[in-house]
């Protein structure tokens, strides 16, 4: 397949932290949403993991850009170059001859018309002939395997890099939703600020991300606690090297405010939920998806706080991408879901 095919179909989860592309029901690209550009000309140097490795280590003639902020496109040109670069990576792997692409791209449920247009334009300039949009919570529900067309309420909390999407789904539509710009990036920023303030050590974005992955926790007491994570970096005042061991309890305290905002948003969405659907949600539980679902103890904390069981999707990092792929395969059936 590929050499003489005039239309190729891909599903794109255009995320703040990572972009995932599905082709033929397989994840063919899972790369950081980063591009490296020449400072003077704006010419693309690298995209994805190669660009991420340059981040924080680049000389003046190279700039690294994250085109998406808070779940939406912040740098239109860089986003276009990133999407084009990632699509070229797919076609080189699959030996495509691609005059045109049919694409389904997922977008945050709280996107404005301007933000939707930015995603559509970037995708079209990157080679998309037919570009369809699906809202992230709906894609997550499809990826988890829920029957979105059933007359039954299901609640999804999708915690990505730039935004947290909360939605109640029934009869193929989003009955109520809440989208907040508090998510994984904010937890990383909390950790950055904490390391500066509490330990007087300067760390970069990548190190803060590694702290979150290794010892991030939503609870101060865990049944299987991780070992302390050792951080190396310069002292802010003297620039001399420092070594600091960070515990999960410490990180739990420093991300407390951001987690509380996510809690409040879930409660706000539940307040808007019609009583019949609320009863279904209590019975079915609430699904957690996105990278934030992997934060230690988050499901237990939310379950204890709200009184409804929270369940982590089988593959939370790829739930939205898989659901976008399901929508792509069934465009006719799910046309009412796609903008």
pLDDT one-digit tens code per residue, 224-244: 999 999 999 999 999 999 999
Contact 20, 104 (CB under 8 A): no
- Answer whether residue 1 shows pLDDT above 50: no
| Mean pLDDT of the region 77-102 | 78
pTM of the model: 0.89
39: tokens are 């400072």
Confidence of residue 58 (pLDDT cuts 50, 70, 90): confident
Under the banding of pLDDT at 50, 70 and 90, the label for residue 246 is very high
Evaluate whether 300 touches 170 at the Cβ level (below 8 Å).
no
Long-range contacts of 305-312 (CB under 8 A, 24+ apart): 305/263, 306/263, 306/266, 306/267, 306/270, 308/281, 308/282, 309/285, 310/157, 310/285, 310/286, 311/285, 311/286, 311/287, 312/287, 312/288
Decide which of 121 and 192 is more confident: 192
The predicted model gives 42-51 an average pLDDT of 93
Average pLDDT of span 47-59 = 89
Q: CA 226 to CA 196: how far, in whole Å?
A: 22
Which pLDDT score, from 0 to 100, does residue 116 have? 86
Distance of CA 48 to the CA centre of its chain: 15
For 301, the token pair is 């904390």
With 90 as the cut, is the pLDDT of residue 98 above it?
A: no
Lookup: tokens for 158: 């999708």
Q: Decide if pLDDT at 168 tops 70.
A: yes
CA distances from 198 to 195, 250, 251 (A): 5, 10, 11
Does the pLDDT at position 94 exceed 70? no
Which region among 86-95, 194-203, 307-316 has the lowest average model confidence (pLDDT)? 86-95
Q: What is the CA radius of gyration of the chain?
A: 21
The predicted structure's pLDDT at residue 125: 85
- For the segment 295-314, the average pLDDT, to the nearest whole number, is 96
Is the model's pLDDT at 4 over the cut of 50? no
Assign 334 a pLDDT band (cuts: 50, 70, 90).
Answer: confident
């Amino acid at each position: 397949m590929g050499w003489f095919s005039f239309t190729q179909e891909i599903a794109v989860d255009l995320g703040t932290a990572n972009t995932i592309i599905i082709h033929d029901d397989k994840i063919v690209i899972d790369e950081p949403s980063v591009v490296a550009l020449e400072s003077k000309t704006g010419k693309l140097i690298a995209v994805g993991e190669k660009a991420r490795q340059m981040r924080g280590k680049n000389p003046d003639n190279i700039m690294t850009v994250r085109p998406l902020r808070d779940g939406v496109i912040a740098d239109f040109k860089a986003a276009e170059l990133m999407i084009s670069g990632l699509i070229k990576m797919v076609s080189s792997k699959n030996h495509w001859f691609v005059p045109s692409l049919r694409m389904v791209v997922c977008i945050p449920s709280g996107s404005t018309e301007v933000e939707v247009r930015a995603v559509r334009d970037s995708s079209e300039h990157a080679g998309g002939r037919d570009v369809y949009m699906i809202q992230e919570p709906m894609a997550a529900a499809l990826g988890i395997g829920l029957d979105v067309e059933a007359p039954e309420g299901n609640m999804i909390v999708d915690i990505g890099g730039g935004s947290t999407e909360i939605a109640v789904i029934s009869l193929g539509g989003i009955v109520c939703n809440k989208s907040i710009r508090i998510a994984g990036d904010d937890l990383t920023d909390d950790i950055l600020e904490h390391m500066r303030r509490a330990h007087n050590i300067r760390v970069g974005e990548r190190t803060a991300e590694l702290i979150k992955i290794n010892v991030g926790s939503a609870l101060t007491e865990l049944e299987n606690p991780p070992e302390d994570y050792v951080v190396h970096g310069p002292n802010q005042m003297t620039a001399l090297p420092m070594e600091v061991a960070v515990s999960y309890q410490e990180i739990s305290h420093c991300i407390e405010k951001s987690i509380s905002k996510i809690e409040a948003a879930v409660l706000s969405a539940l307040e808007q939920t019609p009583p019949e659907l609320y009863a279904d949600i209590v019975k079915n539980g609430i699904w957690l998806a996105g990278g934030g679902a992997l934060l230690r103890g988050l499901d237990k904390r939310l379950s204890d706080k709200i009184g409804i069981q929270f369940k982590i999707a089988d593959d939370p990092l790829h739930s939205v991408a898989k659901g976008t792929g399901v929508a792509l395969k069934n465009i006719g059936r799910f046309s009412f879901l796609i903008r």
